Structure 1
Amino acid sequence: MAGRLLSRLRALLLDLRQRLWAKPLAACLLSVLGVGLAWVLDSEWLMRNPPEVSADSIESLLSIMASSMLVIAIFAAGAMVSAYASASNHSSPRSFPLVLADDTSQNAYSIFVGAFIFGVVGLVALENSSFETVGRFVLFIETAVVFALVILTFVRWVDRIARLGRQGNTNQRAEEAVTGAIRSYRRSPLRGGVPATGLPPGSLPVEADDVGFVCAIDMACLQECAKQNQLVVEVTALPGAFMVPGRALVRVDGARTGVTEKVAGTLRSAFRISQTREFDGDPRFGMVVLSEIAGRALSPAVNDPGTAIDVTGRLVRIFVEWVRTVPEAGSPEYPLVQVPEISLSDLVEDAFTAIARDGAGTIEVGTRLMKTLNTLASLGNEELATAARAQARLALAHAELHMELPAQVVRLRALASFAD
C-alpha cells in the first residue's frame, strides 16, 4: 500500500511540475501566510524595545511592489510563452514539456506573482491599522526579504530566459532528460521484478480498456495483487507502448477459475495510460525526440546539418552512460512480476533511423554518423555493437541512393567498413 501511495505521489509531483499554475499558487499562499505571520507575532511576540518602523515607509515599499510586480509578472509570462513557441517550432513539439518544466523560469514567475500578492495584502492590512510596533517591524523585515528575493531572481531569470527555447538549450535539456531516464532504467532494468521467461500455455491476458500510451507501471500494485490471488504476472506493455482495447497489458498464470473482473481491474489500475508519452521511465521516447530534432534540422526548410551533428554527439554520451551504468545488486523486490527488458537494437533504431534517412544526401552528416556508429560498436557491449553495425549498413544504403558524387559514396563505404 505504501509503495502504491508513493508511486501515485511521484506521478502527481511530476504532473504538477509541468503545470504553470502550481508554483504561483503556492507562492500566493505563502505571501498571505507571511502577512498573517506578522499579524500573529504582533500580539504574541513580546519583544523588548522593538525597533520603531513608520507605517508610511512600509506603505511606500509595498506600494512600489504592488504596482510593479504585476507588470513584471505579465512580462515574464510573455517571455516564457515566446520561448515555448520557439522550442516547439525549431526543435520538436515533443520537446515542449522539457522547456515547460524549466524550474528557473517557473520559480521566477511564481516569485513575481507572489510578491504582487504580498504587496497588495500587506498594503490592505497596513492601511486598516492591523499592526502595532512589533507587527510593523516584522512586516518591514518580510518586505525587505521579498525585495531582495525579487531582485536576485530577476537577475538570474534574465540570464536564463535569454537561453530558454534556443536550439542548444532545448537539445541540452533533452539530453539531460534522456540520460536521467537511461540511468534510472539501467540501475533497475526489471523495475524490481524478475526476468520475463514466458508464461506457460494457457496463461490469461488482461487487456487494456483505454487508448493511449503507457506512461508508468505501479509494480507494487502488481505484486500485491499477484500475492493476494496466488498469481504470476508477466508485463507485456512497457512504458511507451501504445495501447488499444484488446491489447494485453499483462498475462497471468495461476488463475484456475479465470481472472475475475475485480482482479483484472486491479491489474489495469497499475498502468497509467496517457494521451502522450513522457520522458520519465521511457528511454526510447527521449531517443525519438532527439532524433526528431536532428531530422527537423535536416529538412530543406531549415537546412542546419550542424544541429544534426550536435545531436549525434549527444547520443554517443547517452549510450556511453548506458554502458557505464550497471544494474544494482540485490534480491528482486517484486518476485511475482516478470518484466521484459528494452532491446538495445530498438534504442539504436529510435536514435539514428531518422538521421540516416534525412541526412543521406549530406556528406558531413553521413561522415559523422558513420564515425558515431563506429564509436558505439567499440564500447565493448556486443549487443550494442551488433545494433550499431546494422544501423551503419542501413545508413550506407540510404546514402548510396541519395548522394550524387561517387567520391562521397566511396568515402562513406570506407567509414562503414567496420560493419562488414
Structure 2
Amino acid sequence: MEEHLRFVIHRIKEKLWFRPLIFCIVSIGSALIAQLADRTRLRELVPDIKVESLSELLNIISASMLVIAIFTVGSMLSAFAAASNTATPRSFKLIINDDVSKNALSVFIGSFIFSIVALVALKNGYYGRAGLFTLFIFTLLFFTLVILTFLRWVERISKLGRMGHTIKLIEDTTISAITNRLQSPNLHGIPVDQHRSSGQNIESPSTGYIQQINMNALQKIAKSMNAIFTLHVIPGKFVSNQQTLLSFHSSNEKIDLDIGKIQEAFTIGNSRYFETDPRFGIITLSEIASRALSPAVNDPGTAIQIINSHIKLFSIWNSVKQENKDEDVIYDRIAVPEIKIADLFEDAFRPIARDGAANIEVMLRLQKAFHILSTSNNKDISLASYFHSSQAFDRAKLVMNLEADILLLKENCLI
C-alpha cells in the first residue's frame, strides 16, 4: 500500500496545478491569520501603519502579479514547445516538472491571491493595529519573495527548453532511476533464475505500459495462496490485452483465486515514467540523437554528446551495481526479472549506429565508446560492447563510400 501511495502522490505532485494550489492556501491563510496578532499584547508595541499605504502596496502587487503569472505560463509553454521540437516529445514530462518554473508560477499566483484577500479584509476593517502591522510584514515578505523568485526564474527560463539543458535533465533523471533500480534490481523480490513457475498464468486486462507494480499486495496474495509468483513484466514493459503478467503454481489443492485482485496490483497506462523505468531515459536520449542525425537537422555534435551521456550512464550502472551486490529480499514469494544489459545497449546504441552509419565522426566516437565500456568489470557490459561494435561497423560498411573511412573505422573497431 505504501508503494502504491507513493506512486499516486508522485503523480499528483507532477501536476502543474499542485504547487500553485498549495501556495494559494498558504497565501489565504497568511492574509487571514495576521488578524490574530490583534488578540495579543503586540498591539501595544508596534507602530501605527496607515491603511492607505498598505492598501497602495497591495494594489501594486495585485495589479502586477496576474500579468507576470500569465507571462510565466506563456514562457513555459514556449519552452515546452521548443523542447518537444528540438529534442523529443518524450522530454516534455521532465520540462514541465521543472521545479524553478513551478515555484515561480506558484509564488506569482499565490501573491496575487494574497493581495486580493488582504485588500478585501483591509477595506472591511478586519485588522486592528497589530493586525495591520503583521499584514505589512507579510506583504513585505511576499514582495521580497516575488523579486527573488523572478530573478531566479529569468535565469532558468533562458535555459529551459534548450538542447543542452534538456539532455542534462534527462541524463540526471536517468541516473536517479538507475541508482534506485540497482538498489533493488529485483524490486526486493527473489531473482527469476531462483524460481521459474510454469503453472497458471494471469493475463493483462488491458493494453499499455506497466507503470507500477504493487509488490506488497502481490506478496500478501501469494502468501494467502501458499504460492510463488513469477513476474513476466517489470515497470516500463508494454503489454497487450491478455498477455501474461505473471505465472504461479500453488501447493494448495483448493485455492480461492481472485484474478481481478492480482491484476489490480499492476498499474497499466498509456505513458512511461522516467523515475521507475531506466530504459525510458536511455531511449529518450537516443531519440534526441536520431533526430540530430536526420538530414533535416544534420547535427552530429548532439549525437556525439548523447554517446558521451550513454558512456556516463553505463559507467554509473557498473559502479552502482558493484556497490549494491546484495539486495534485501522483502517479497520472498515474488520472482522478478532484472533489466538486461543487452536490452539497454540496444536502446542506447542501435538507433545511433543505424542513423549515423554514414557519418565517420559519429561512428568513430561510437567505436571509442565501445572501447571504453569493453574494459568494464561487468561481463554483460563488456560482451555487449563487442557485439555492438561489430554491428556498428557492419552498418557503416554498407553506406560509407570512401574506403579510407572504412579502414579508419576498422582500426578503431573491437573486432
For the criterion TM > 0.5, the same-fold answer is: yes
- In the TM superposition, what is the alpha-carbon distance from 1:47 to its structure 2 partner? 4.6
SS of residue in 2 equivalent to 1:280: helix
Match of 2:279 among 284, 289, 301: 284
Partner of 1:32: 28
Residue 171 (structure 1) aligns with: 167
User: Structure 1 counterpart of 2:270, which letter?
Assistant: Q
Indicate the SS of the match to 2:47: coil
Tell me the percent identity: 39
Task: Give 1:18-417 correspondences, 5 Å limit.
Answer: 18-43=14-39, 47-197=43-193, 202-254=198-250, 256-257=252-253, 260=256, 262=258, 264-325=259-320, 326-327=323-324, 329=326, 331-416=328-413
1:200–1:253 Cα contact (<8 Å) kept: no
Using the alignment, how far apart are the partners of 1:320 and 1:226 within structure 2? 37
Residue type at the aligned position of 2:231: V
Cα distance in structure 2, aligned partners of 1:181 and 1:65: 41
Shift of 1:49: 2.1
Q: Cα–Cα, structure 1 residues 267 and 126, in superposed 2: closer, same or farther, change >3 Å?
A: same
8 Å CA contact 2:51, 2:122 repeated in 1: yes
Structure 1 residue 260, shift from structure 2 partner: 4.7
**Contact between 2:160 and 2:166, CA under 8 Å: does it hold in 1?**
yes
Q: Which amino acid aligns with 2:285?
A: L
Q: CA separation in 2, counterparts of 1:43 and 1:157?
A: 39
Q: Which moved more, 1:248-257 or 1:360-369?
A: 248-257
Q: Paired residues, what number?
A: 413
Offset from partner CA, 1:342-366 (integer Å, 9 cap, x none) = 1101101100111000100111100
**In structure 2, do the counterparts of structure 1 residues 258 and 354 end up closer, same or farther at CA, with 3 Å as the change threshold?**
farther
* Structure 2 alignment gaps of length 5 or more: none
Write out per-residue CA displacement over residues 311-365 of structure 1, whole angstroms, 9 at most, x where no aligned residue.
Answer: 0101111001001013263641111111111110110110011100010011110
CA shift at 1:208, angstroms? 0.7
Deviates more, 1:235-244 or 1:69-78: 235-244
Equivalent residue letter for 1:323:
N
Is contact 1:112-1:150 (8 Å) kept? yes
Kept in 1: contact 2:207–2:240 (CA 8 A): yes
For 2:377 and 2:200, the matched residues in 1 are separated by 40
Give the TM-score taking structure 2 as reference length.
0.96
Asked if the contact 2:286/2:347 (under 8 Å) is kept, the reply is yes
Structure 1 residue 18 displacement after superposition: 2.5
CA contact (8 A) 2:37 2:43 kept: no
Q: Does the aligned pair in 2 maintain the 1:204–1:259 contact within 8 Å?
A: no
Alpha-carbon spacing, 1:179–1:120, altered in 2? closer, same or farther (3 Å): same
Name the SS of the counterpart of 1:336 in structure 2. strand
Contact persistence 1:216–1:281 (CA under 8 A): yes
Unaligned runs of at least 5 residues, structure 1: none
Give the secondary-structure state (helix, strand or coil) at the position aligned to 1:165: coil
